[in-house]
Amino acid sequence: MAIDFRIRDFFYPQEMYRLRQTLEETQWLSAEELQEYQEERLTHIINHAYNHVPYYRRLFQETGLRPQDIQKVDDLEKLPLLSKDTIRREGKTLVADNARRYHPVSYKTSGTTGTPVEFYLDKGARILEFVYYWRHWNWAGYRLGDSFAELGSFYFLNRDHLSDAVSSWQPHLRRLMVNSGQIAPFRAKELARVIRKYRPKYLKGAASTVYFLALCLKEAGINDIFFKAIFSVNEVLTPQYRSMAESVFHCPVLDSYGHMEGTVAISQCLAGGYHINSDYGILEFNNIMTSSDDGTVLGQAVGTSLYNMAMPLIRYDVGDDIEFFSEPKTCRCGRTLPLVKRVHGRSEDTIITPEGRFITSMFVVPEFAKGIRFVQFVQDSDTDLHINVVPKRDWDARQEDILLHYVTKLVGTGMSVHIHAVTQDNIITDASGKIRSVISSVKHCTDNG
C-alpha cells in the first residue's frame, strides 16, 4: 500500500520544488556523479544514525565500527541486515532521539507477507515520496494539477458514508477515487459513466485491479475510455495484466516498485526500462543466485534510507526478489538511473465474490481490528471465505466482530465468512515456503485470458 497524501503534506511547497529540481537533474547525471550524490546522502544518514539513533549507536559499538568506516555504498556490507523482526523487537530504539524536529508520522505496513511493521516517516521522507511520484508520472507527461483516477478500497472502508460508494471526486487533489471493491461486470456501465464525467487524464492502481477494471469494461463492450498513461503499483505487472490494460485504455502502462518504509524505488519509463531511483535510496542485493540455463541473476532487495532522519533504515531486508543484469545496461530514454530486468514476488490471489466482484485489496482489512498478529484469507469455493487469524493477547470476540464487519463490507453478504483462530504453524505456505496473505482456488473467467 502506498502513502496516501493528505492536505498537510502539501504545506511545504518550497521544499518540494527544491527537491523536484534536484531530482530532475540527478536522473541525468553520470554514473560517477550519481554515486557521489548518493554517498554524500549516505554519509549524512550514517552520522545522524550514530549520533541520534540508540539502536545504531549500540550496533556501531558492538561491531567496533565508526561512522567514518561507512562512507561508500560498498562499505555498507560491514553492517548486518536489518530485518522486519528486528524493527518489531527494537521499536523505539530505531527512532532518533531528536525525531520530533523532523515531524514524524507513524505508519504500518499492510502485512501482505507477515505481521505488519510499524515505522515513522518524517517530513523529508514524505516530501521525497511525493516528489518521486511527481517525477515518475512526469515521464508520461503528467503535470502537477492534472486530474487522475486512483483505484483503491482503504479510502472507502475508512469512511462509513462512502463504504458502498463506487467513486468519490476530490476536487482539491483533482483525484477521482474509484472503489476497487466495487469493480464487477454488472457495474461496468456505472464505472465508465463516472470516468467519462470527470475525464481523468491518468489512472493509478494495483496491477490486478487495473486489469479487472479493464476486463469488466471490455466484456461490456465499452471501448471509449482513454487515459494518457496508467501507473501500476503494489503488485507484479504480468504480461496479461499489461496487454489487457493497454488495449482497453489505449495507453501505455508504466510499472513501479516500492514499499511503504521508503528505502527502495524502481520505476519504468516510456522506453520500457525499469530504473533504480538511486537518488531515492540505496538498493543492494542479497542471496544472489544465477541460473545456469539462461544466466538470469536474481537477488533479494536490501534498501537504505537516504532522507528519513526520524527513523533511518540502514540495510533493511526488504525481501522481494529482483532480477537484474549481470552487466550494466543503458536505456533508450537517456536517463542514467541504473536498470534492473524485472521485479518478482508481489502478486496476490484475488477473491471473487458470488456476484462476480473482484476483491484485490483484502490485505487492508486487518488494519481496522486489534489483536491480529497475522491473517490469511483462503477462498475454497464460490461462496466460502475462510480467515485464519494468528491472534495476539487483545484478540477477542469484539475484534472478531470488527474484522467480520469490514470483510463483509468488502465481499458482501452473499459470501459466508468463517474466522478461525490458529497458530502460526497452521498458516498455509506455498511450495517455496513463502506465505501468501490471500489464497484462492476459485476459477473464474480471467484464468482463460
Per-residue pLDDT of 228-241, as tens digits, reads 999 999 888 888 88
**Average pLDDT of the segment spanning 250-257:** 97
Q: How does strand 229-233 pair with strand 202-206?
A: parallel
pLDDT at 157: 87
**Average pLDDT of the segment spanning 110-124:** 77
Segment among 64-78, 303-317, 363-377 with least mean pLDDT = 363-377
3-state secondary structure of 20: helix
Residue 53 CA to residue 431 CA, distance in Å, equals 39
115 pLDDT more than 50: yes
Residue 240 CA to residue 232 CA, distance in Å, equals 13
2 pLDDT more than 60: no
- CA 30 to chain CA centroid, Å, is 29
- Tell me the domains of the chain and their CATH numbers: 7-135+258-343 (3.40.50.12780), 141-251 (3.40.50), 351-448 (3.30.300.30)
Beta carbons of 300 and 285 less than 8 angstroms apart: yes
Cell 568506516 sits on residue:
69
Helix or strand run (H / E) with residue 421: strand 416-421
**Average pLDDT of the segment spanning 319-327:** 86
Q: How does strand 372-379 pair with strand 438-440?
A: parallel
Q: For the residues of 327-394, what is the DSSP string, one character each?
A: S----TT---S-EESEE-S-----EE-TT--EE--GGGGGGGSSSEEEEEEEE-SSSEEEEEEEE-TT
What is the residue type of 16? M
176, with CB counted inside 10 A (0-12, 13-18, 19+), is: buried
Residue 194 CA to residue 200 CA, distance in Å, equals 10
449, with CB counted inside 10 A (0-12, 13-18, 19+), is: exposed
pTM for the model stands at 0.83
Residue 341 CA to residue 290 CA, distance in Å, equals 14
- CA 215 to chain CA centroid, Å, is 23
422 pLDDT more than 80: yes
* Number of CB atoms found within 10 A of residue 383's CB: 12
Percent of the chain's residues with pLDDT above 70: 91
Cell 482456488 sits on residue:
441
* Number of CB atoms found within 10 A of residue 119's CB: 25
Which of 240, 236, 234 is closest to 215 using CA atoms? 240
pLDDT at 240: 83
Helix or strand run (H / E) with residue 209: helix 207-219
- Could you report the per-residue pLDDT of 188-244, keeping only the tens digit for each? 999 999 999 999 999 999 888 999 899 999 999 999 999 999 999 988 888 888 999
pLDDT at 8: 62
Q: For the residues of 292-322, what is the DSSP string, one character each?
A: TTT--EEEEEEEEESS-SSS--SSEEEEEEE
Which of 172, 182, 184 is closest to 151 using CA atoms? 182
What residues form DSSP beta bridges with 151?
178
Residue 403 CA to residue 367 CA, distance in Å, equals 9
pLDDT at 352: 85
Beta carbons of 356 and 329 less than 8 angstroms apart: no
**Average pLDDT of the segment spanning 140-151:** 96
